[in-house]
Amino acid sequence: MLPKLAVPANRLPLMPDAPADPPRSEVVFSLQDVRREFDDGHVLALRGVNLEIRAGEFVAIIGGSGSGKSTLLSLLGALDTPSSGSIRFQGKEMSEMPDLGEFRARHVGFVFQSFLLLPTLTALENVQVPMFELGWSRAERQRRAGELLQAVGMEHRLDHMPDKLSGGERQRVAIARSLANEPDILLADEPTGNLDSQNSVQIMDLLCRVQREKNTTMILVTHDPSIARLADRVITMKDGQVIADQPADRMAPSSAGSIS
């Protein structure tokens, strides 16, 4: 069980001219009968998913291996497209967007279990990668990256390569990178999966702080019910379907034994 998290004193930097936070009631994602098939329909990863996610929510998605939770996250981040059904972002049909790459660059930050830092770039350079899509100058990219790394407690590792960082440090750099484009949406796929318990607590502390300070919509996939309970809302998946959708404080203690 993860302990109650404290909010560190240092706050995250804001992007210049950042837009005002959207109203909490605004629907960010709306999914209707979303299906995803692989292998010519022989593998049904998602089987008619219907749900809404609102601005500023912290939503955890739990379920066993093969339940469809990571597939769902990939669709929300426009890393994949559904076989059928509708996914709308802020009322706009995502399948009709002319450039999904621009959507990702402008709206989405990703945090992955395996960090996915570029091995030939320093921490400071890795954080700058999403900024190239925004057309910023080199000086502005470096300034922004340095501020973000300082905010996640990595200002002493700016020039270190990923292979010189611990797992917890690499994930901190990955979180800084995910915030580089000031995203509306933060998608985290098992962000503590490769970390020990102490680093898991620290990384979840950091992600929760990001979500609160930025009013970011955060959608996090996890096997761990103790992490899911940190969210506002928990969606449980099984065999490609949503089988429960409830406030996190209503999760039964017995849920811990049902996730593998």
In a domain, 121, yes or no: yes
Query: pLDDT tier at 193 (50, 70, 90 boundaries)?
Result: confident
pLDDT digits (tens, 9 = 90+) for 21-54: 545 569 999 999 999 999 888 899 999 999 999 9
Q: Indicate the average pLDDT of the chain.
A: 87
Residue 3 has pLDDT above 60, yes or no: no
Q: What is the DSSP letter of 192?
A: T
Q: Is the pLDDT of residue 250 over 90?
A: no
Give a yes or no: residue 20 inside a domain: no
Flag whether pLDDT at 239 surpasses 90. yes
* Percent of residues, the chain, with pLDDT higher than 70: 87
Residue 7 has pLDDT above 50, yes or no: no
As for how many domains the chain has, the answer is: 1
Q: Tell me if 32 is assigned to some domain.
A: no
Q: According to the model, what pLDDT value does residue 12 have? A: 55
pLDDT value at residue 13? 57
* Residues of the domain holding 154: 58-74+99-258
Question: pLDDT at position 181, please?
Answer: 87
Would the pLDDT of 2 be above 70? no
CATH of the domain at 207: 3.40.50.300
Q: Which residues pair with 62 in a beta bridge?
A: 222, 236
75 sits in the region (left: phi over 0; alpha: psi -120 to 50; else beta) called alpha
- What phi and psi, each to the nearest 5 degrees, are found at residue 107? -125, -20
In a domain, 40, yes or no: no
Q: What is the pLDDT of residues 202-232, one digit of tens each?
A: 889 989 998 999 899 999 999 899 999 999 9
CB 84 within 8 A of CB 46: no
Cβ proximity of 123 and 165 under 8 Å: yes
Say if 122 falls within a structural domain: yes
Are 90 and 84 spatial neighbours (Cβ–Cβ below 8 Å)? Answer: no
SS3 assignment, position 129: helix
Q: What is the pLDDT of residues 94-152, one digit of tens each?
A: 999 999 988 998 899 999 888 889 999 999 999 999 888 777 889 999 999 999 999 88
Does the pLDDT value for residue 19 go beyond 80?
no
Q: What pLDDT was estimated at residue 82?
A: 96
Residue 176 placed within a domain: yes
Q: Are 107 and 184 in contact (CB under 8 A)?
A: yes
Residue 237: inside a domain: yes
Report, as an integer, the average pLDDT of 61-69: 93
